[in-house]
Amino acid sequence: MVRIKDIAKAANVSTATVSYVINERGNISSDTRKKVLKVIKELNYQPNNVAKSLKINKTNTIGVVVEDITVFSSPEIINGINESADENGLSILLTNLRVHRRIGNNFGEFDKCRTDVKAAVEELVSRQVDGIIYVGVHNRDLTGLIELDKPVVFSYCSSRTENQFSVNYDDELAAFEATNYLIGLGHQKIALISGLIDSIPAHGRFLGYYKALVSHNLEFNPEYVKTGDWEYLSGYTMAKELLSVKNRPTAILAMNDLMAGGVFEACRESGVRVPEDLSVIGFDNRECSFYFTPRLTTVNLPLNEIGMKSMEILVGAIRKSDIPETDVKLKCNLVERESVMEYSTVR
């Protein structure tokens, strides 16, 4: 390995001079600069960034701890984080908690993982990261999970701690718009298949649905609201119930694509045509939603944007260049496909 010292000797200058030309700092005469650069190339010098980091007390490294990289939302978020990291010349130290394998969807058992989080953060800190992004697998309150005197941003989850930031998308607005879309198409009897109602997203989406109805003076019918558990099967079961309600809804908003898939299966079994007899909207825009029959109209999540925004906020907090927002909500967009139809043509 060739060091700055070797360059200095070969170029007949001091190590300080070499360092200056590498970092393009100080006043170095064009002649010595050229000489040094030449030697650097000849000896194929590769700087040692860990030595530099130790000296300047800054690693230009961000710790990213992701709850589970195999959950559908994580890769896109990380992709966004990477994009912004590249733009800012930052590297990513990645820790994957793999919580899904340990506790599945039972987030009540998340306590089991808290020590893992502590350990992960400690490891990252010992490696002197400049800040941390914590990527959740769904939005929930994680206040107190991480205590650190460096900036940390919670991506797809939340924390209210000082010097900590949260980036999510706007569930309520998304559900509001999806419901409005249905109403705009003439639907008045719009059912909702909810996920587990103790979750922040389910709550927000319900509110959006409700407010859309109210804002159009449509009656809120509790019979039209069914609570599933985010899984395919519950969508199926709840759809069966909705289909047998006396005043059957003409549209269903499912709180995720999987449950919408279950709705499709129920309809197939019951001879209900989608979208001719029933319009269906999903949520998440997962890959599978494109391959459903018919292709599912659904709400696309700004995952990449969440990642980018998270990194931008973190960079702002680290460089103290601006005061970042503490609680960002990004906008979703509806992707129109083939599972929705105007009400006028129904029946």
Partner DNA sequence: CTGAAAGCGCTTACAG
Residue 273 φ/ψ, nearest 5 degrees:
-90, 135
Contact set for its own copies, span 56-115 (CB under 8 A) = 59, 61, 64, 69-70, 72, 74-76, 78-79, 82-83, 91-96, 98
Q: Which stretch binds DNA (CB under 7 A): 2-10, 143-151, 160-168, 213-221?
A: 2-10
Sheet of strand 333-335, all strands in order from the earlier edge strand to the far edge: 225-227, 190-194, 251-254, 279-284, 297-300, 333-335
- Based on the shown chain and the rule CB under 7 A, indicate whether residue 42 belongs to the binding site for DNA: no
CB 74 within 8 A of CB 46: no
Interaction partner, residue 26 (its own copies, DNA, none; CB < 5-8 Å by kind): DNA
* Residues linked to residue 280 through DSSP beta bridges, in sequence order: 252
d(CA 116, CA 100): 13
Among 12, 46, 143, 163, which residue sits at the site for its own copies (rule: CB under 8 A)? Answer: 46
Contact set for DNA, span 54-93 (CB under 7 A) = 54-57
CB 335 within 8 A of CB 297: yes
* C-alpha atoms less than 13 angstroms from C-alpha of 310 in its C-beta half-sphere: 36
Q: Is 284 helix (H, G, I), strand (E, B) or coil?
A: strand
**Of 128 and 161, which has the nearer Cβ to its own copies?**
128
Among 9, 22, 240, 277, which residue sits at the site for DNA (rule: CB under 7 A)? Answer: 22
In the complex, the smallest distance separating the C-beta of residue 126 from its own copies, rounded to whole angstroms, is 4
In the complex, the smallest distance separating the C-beta of residue 5 from DNA, rounded to whole angstroms, is 6
* Residues linked to residue 329 through DSSP beta bridges, in sequence order: 168
Residue 160 CB coordination number (10 Å): 13
- What are the residues binding DNA (CB under 7 A)? 1, 3-5, 12-20, 22-23, 25-29, 31-33, 45-48, 51-52, 54-57
- Using CB under 8 A as the criterion, which residues of the chain lie in contact with its own copies when the complex forms? 46-51, 53-54, 59, 61, 64, 69-70, 72, 74-76, 78-79, 82-83, 91-96, 98, 122-123, 125-128, 232, 261, 265, 268, 286-288, 290-293
